[in-house]
Structure 1
Amino acid sequence: MARQPASAPPMSGGYQSAEAENFIEFCLDLDSQDDHEAHPDDPRYIANYDTNTWESVYDSRQYVTEDLVKNYNNTTDPWYKLYHEIRLNWEHDRLHNPNPELPVPDWDAEKLEKDPRYNGFGPFQSAWVLYRNKTIAYPPTYAIAIRGTVFSSRPSAVEDFLFHPVLAHDFLTNDVSFASYNGASVHSGFAHATFVLLLDARYGVLPVLQERLKDVDTANLYIVGHSQGAAMATLVHAFLHYAQAAATPANDPFKLYGKRYALKSYDFAQPKPGNFYFAADFARYTQASDSAIVVNNAIDVVPQVPLTLQDLGDIDGYVRNLPFWSNALRYVAGIGSGLRGTVGRIAEPFVKRADSGYGDFYGYPPGTACDTDKTGKSWDFVSAGHLILVFGRPPAPDSPDASDTFVQHHAWTYRNLIHEQLEQGGAAPGP
């Protein structure tokens, strides 16, 4: 059994061991659900957060599967496409189970809730959990935990590969921004999934916060995730920062006017969520308070993707009096940037068409998510936040984990490395 960490003071800046050790457990519960079902007695897959401190107050997996069983055949329901596709996948798996280690459950809400193949929402089968800290009376303290890639769910894995950049400012609508600088761009798959995660009218973060925190104006709000969920947590952090700042009595689409949510994020195994300018924009409001922590394993391949592709045509900055030959070389190199921009312009319409039909968006009429394409050409992807490295070790050749391609990426690996290397009384080394 994992050690039960004590709670830390609310929203203290920087890496806090008690926070990290609880939050990696939240991530393990979401990301290792299929492994836990296949191997229920394996301690690596058992989430052990401090239940004396934290309690789950909303779990999207529960509500999705309850509605799935009740409404999958209701063709007038806006979420019919979601339920219908999950039902078809379930029927296919009953006949041809692609994972014999994980039996296909009965068509029962409680059983489906435990299987990540059937309990997600939106085009990429997202899931999230809202936790409340029971030990802090004021300000109320909550944590949003976001699920990472579930390889047994094809839509979840597809999200990772839609890596062409889209502009972070005014994403899909004028009300949704992940950055203030027009040169900032983010990973398209992560951005689309985050848009739905936030705005799904039935299971999204914003309508749930409005319902569960309707009488709360001031709160501490952590946003945490592992893998794909880590990149999405970064984008949720960015969105909430800008949405709160932009809310006015006359323009308050997300009912955030007057809300004072203090934000802090913990990202484990974060793939690169955006380009250099997105990371710089994100640092403007998280760096001084040290409120965006990224813990990456130095030999985990996932934080190294998507690959950074740059040439001189991508460089945008202030350099005086460049000689003619330098400008000429930059112009020629810009051909590569133009080609990368073309990839995004071709791919983005397909992504948006594939996204449609999975439900309603909170605060918007149907179809609002299909707006003018705003794609980027800069593929200089970097991590975003205060990066802290842990250092994994390849398993021994005769170890059961030696054949596991992603052994360095698993949430339980991060749990072990955090406990072994970052348990220093609330502080952690880092750049």
Structure 2
Amino acid sequence: MALQPGFDFTEATAMIALSQAIYGVPAIPVPTPDPDKLGWSKVDSLSPSAPTLLDNLWQVWRNDNKPGQYAIVVRGTVDTEASILADLLFPLIDARLDLAIKVGGVELDFPFHLARDETGSAVVAGTHLGFSLSLLLMLLTTDRPLLATLSELSLDPQAEILVTGHSQGASIATLLTSFIRHASGIFSGLSGLPCKTYVYAPAKPGNDHYGYDYDFIAGVRGLGWTIVSTQGWVPQVPFTLQGPGDLDTPNPLREYDGTRPPLVDPRIAALCASVEPAVEVARLQTVARALEVANDLKTKLIREGTVSPNALPGLPTGMRLDGASVAGAVDGMLSRIQLSLNFTTAGSLVPLFAAPGGNPADPKDFFWQHHLGNYWTYLQEQYAPTRPLS
């Protein structure tokens, strides 16, 4: 049976169980179900045996009760420097990138398209650099790169995928959905792969224009669900710092081409004069830090054997993708950094109305409201089919 639009409690239940299972530890304060008891089996042949250089890990699971249905599960942040760095690489980059990968003297197009083309717009869709880098490494590196898995699944006419994840993994899963929906060029075969997304407690994955695009390709179609706790802080970050340059044009401060109008209300001009310098300093500091970390990542990519020979579909016979090739794609990303910190949510929201408070057993548990065990409880209480919405 094909994936159906709309929030499906059974699907959401399975996806929260898979999102917890990838951590390898029981959920707290209450356990989530074991995936095998829900009829899901991990597909080792399509799942990497180790994480990426940013400590991103994902798994592919198969629904034993529905032939052809798979789930791609992206792990959230873990307590390692690399994983936390991916969260802290705040700058936005253009969500639609035409990257190039050089292999053996041959330059291959790599359409990294996470949003529609907005040529001519003063503001374009932007995505979180750290999550975008994470997705790129997932697509191209490890012993079982995600791009090869997607290509294999797209050849199966029965295949359909549920995309899910928690926390950082939820944000990356959102971007992955965009990559599939906007697949073009050498990846155009992926765009017909049916997919539906359930993400839990994502950090904000991009700016308002990215959110608009994601809502159009998934949210309003009933195929992109974002489940958040009303007491959780992770979906409220990264901090949003909006400035005049984040506004669409024309507006009272800028004409359509981005220039300042000759006559601006003095009160508005004074407000901008007081706000813009502080915003600019924060942006520049964030970009400088991101470039420093990204350059270190590129060095590691070049040095370590992190790329599978079958990572890139259509790679000419005898050519092998290596770390230096991927590092070149990272350079392409960094060349399209936006001087903006205007982050927003994306997807059709499913609010879980949570009870305020902390962990009664551990006052230092700052992630208490973020735990999937609490998400599981609220999901059952508020969205089970036997409970009418009120």
Q: Normalization by structure 1: what TM-score?
A: 0.72
- 1:179 maps to which residue? 115
Shift of 1:337: 5.0
Matched, 1:368 2:360: no
Cα distance, 1:43–1:340 mapped onto 2, change above 3 Å: closer
On the 8 A contact 1:294/1:386 being kept in 2, the answer is yes
| Of 366-375 and 330-339, the range deviating more from structure 2 | 330-339
On the 8 A contact 1:181/1:277 being kept in 2, the answer is no
Matched, 1:280 2:240: no
Matched, 1:420 2:381: yes
On the 8 A contact 1:169/1:181 being kept in 2, the answer is yes
Instruction: In structure 1, give the amino acid aligned to 2:112.
Output: V
1:379-423 deviation digits (Å, cap 9, x = unpaired): 1211100011102224588x3255422111011111111111111
Instruction: In structure 2, give the amino acid aligned to 1:22.
Output: A
Instruction: In structure 1, give the amino acid aligned to 2:203.
Output: P
Over the matched positions of the two proteins, sequence identity in percent amounts to 25
| Of 408-417 and 366-375, the range deviating more from structure 2 | 366-375
Paired residue secondary structure (1:180) = coil
- 1:405 maps to which residue? 366
Equivalent of 1:53 in 21, 31, 39 = 39
Equivalent of 2:96 in 169, 176, 188 = 169
Paired residue secondary structure (2:239) = coil
Matched, 1:25 2:17: yes
Cα distance, 1:26–1:428 mapped onto 2, change above 3 Å: farther
Q: Distance in 2 between matches of 1:123 and 1:178?
A: 22
Equivalent of 1:353 in 271, 280, 295 = 295
Instruction: In structure 2, give the amino acid aligned to 1:55.
Output: S
Shift of 1:203: 2.8
On the 8 A contact 1:314/1:337 being kept in 2, the answer is no
Cα distance, 1:289–1:259 mapped onto 2, change above 3 Å: closer
Aligned residues: 346
Matched, 1:378 2:378: no
1:175-203 deviation digits (Å, cap 9, x = unpaired): 11212245111111111111111221523
Q: Distance in 1 between matches of 2:135 and 2:233?
A: 23
Instruction: In structure 2, give the amino acid aligned to 1:271.
Output: A
On the 8 A contact 1:300/1:409 being kept in 2, the answer is yes
Instruction: In structure 1, give the amino acid aligned to 2:349.
Output: L
- 2:82 maps to which residue? 155
Instruction: In structure 2, give the amino acid aligned to 1:391.
Output: F
On the 8 A contact 2:229/2:354 being kept in 1, the answer is yes
Q: Distance in 2 between matches of 1:155 and 1:54?
A: 30
Shift of 1:224: 0.1
- 1:145 maps to which residue? 73
1:217-228 alignment to 2 at 5 Å? 217-228=157-168
Matched, 1:240 2:180: yes
Report which structure shows greater RCO (CA 8 Å, sep ≥6). Answer: 2
Shift of 1:426: 9.8
Q: Distance in 1 between matches of 2:190 and 2:244?
A: 45
Matched, 1:123 2:115: no
Q: Distance in 1 between matches of 2:281 and 2:389?
A: 42
Matched, 1:44 2:30: yes
Q: Distance in 1 between matches of 2:45 and 2:229?
A: 28
- 1:267 maps to which residue? 199
Q: Distance in 1 between matches of 2:157 and 2:222?
A: 23
On the 8 A contact 1:17/1:427 being kept in 2, the answer is no
Shift of 1:43: 8.1
On the 8 A contact 2:168/2:202 being kept in 1, the answer is yes
On the 8 A contact 1:301/1:409 being kept in 2, the answer is yes
Instruction: In structure 1, give the amino acid aligned to 2:376.
Output: R
Shift of 1:127: 0.9
On the 8 A contact 1:337/1:377 being kept in 2, the answer is no
Cα distance, 1:10–1:215 mapped onto 2, change above 3 Å: closer
On the 8 A contact 1:283/1:384 being kept in 2, the answer is yes
Q: Distance in 2 between matches of 1:201 and 1:160?
A: 20
Shift of 1:266: 0.6
Q: Distance in 1 between matches of 2:150 and 2:295?
A: 28
What is the CA RMSD across the aligned residues, in angstroms? 3.0
- 2:284 maps to which residue? 342
Instruction: In structure 2, give the amino acid aligned to 1:384.
Output: A
Unmatched 5+ stretches in structure 2: 101-109, 119-123, 256-260, 313-320
| Of 323-332 and 303-312, the range deviating more from structure 2 | 323-332
Instruction: In structure 1, give the amino acid aligned to 2:197.
Output: S
Cα distance, 1:184–1:62 mapped onto 2, change above 3 Å: closer
Cα distance, 1:370–1:325 mapped onto 2, change above 3 Å: same
1:74-95 deviation digits (Å, cap 9, x = unpaired): xxxxxxxxxxxxxxxxxxxxxx
